[in-house]
Amino acid sequence: MDKKQIALDFVKKQLIGVLATTSPENKPEAAVIEFGETDDFELVFDTSKEYRKYKNLQHNPSVAFVVGGPENISIQLEGVAKELTPAEFSKYKEAYFKKNPDAKKWDSLPETRWFKITVKWLRYRDYNSHPSTVWEIDI
């Protein structure tokens, strides 16, 4: 199996991750969020236009994202977040709600905004082996 598929299979098992953005004043901000993913390794999330991350993403769409779980494996991702247009919503919402059906309650709120992250780079680390298994790939 190729490394990209190994990473995607792991990400598919995770329900939450940490999204890092940068404010217009170049201050870091991180938030735990629910997310979904496509088979093309795009991450999908929603947020309120009232939250700091929304304002940060308007200023700078470059993001970092981290997932990890009880398997003692973590993946660091870097990419670009793009706010989805109404025409793009259906494809990405389906991926998000498949994983997070309870999040449908946010969909009808007028301040909810949708984003996809196009992953550009990732680092996989498995702490179960000694030394740890670590590899990086550009996507």
pTM: 0.93
Token representation of residue 68: 């990890």
Number of alpha helices (DSSP H) and beta strands (DSSP E) in the chain: 4, 8
In the chain, the domains with their CATH numbers are 3-138 (2.30.110.10)
> For position 23, what pLDDT does the model report?
97
Q: Report the candidate in 109, 65, 107 with the shortest Cα–Cα distance to residue 90.
A: 107
CA 38 to mean position of chain CA atoms: 11
Q: Tell me if 106 sits within 8 A of 112, measured CB to CB.
A: yes
The band of 80, judged by pLDDT with boundaries at 50, 70 and 90, is very high
Residue 1 has pLDDT above 80, yes or no: no
pLDDT tens-digit profile of 3-58?
999 999 999 999 999 999 999 999 999 999 999 999 999 999 999 999 999 999 99
Give mean pLDDT, residues 73-101.
Answer: 92
- Out of 54-63, 64-73, 99-108, pick the least confident: 99-108
Residue 61 has pLDDT above 90, yes or no: yes
Question: E strands within the chain?
Answer: 16-22, 28-34, 36-37, 42-48, 62-68, 73-83, 112-126, 133-138
Q: Tell me if 74 sits within 8 A of 22, measured CB to CB.
A: no
pLDDT tens-digit profile of 96-135?
999 999 988 888 889 999 999 999 999 999 999 889 999 9
> For position 11, what pLDDT does the model report?
97
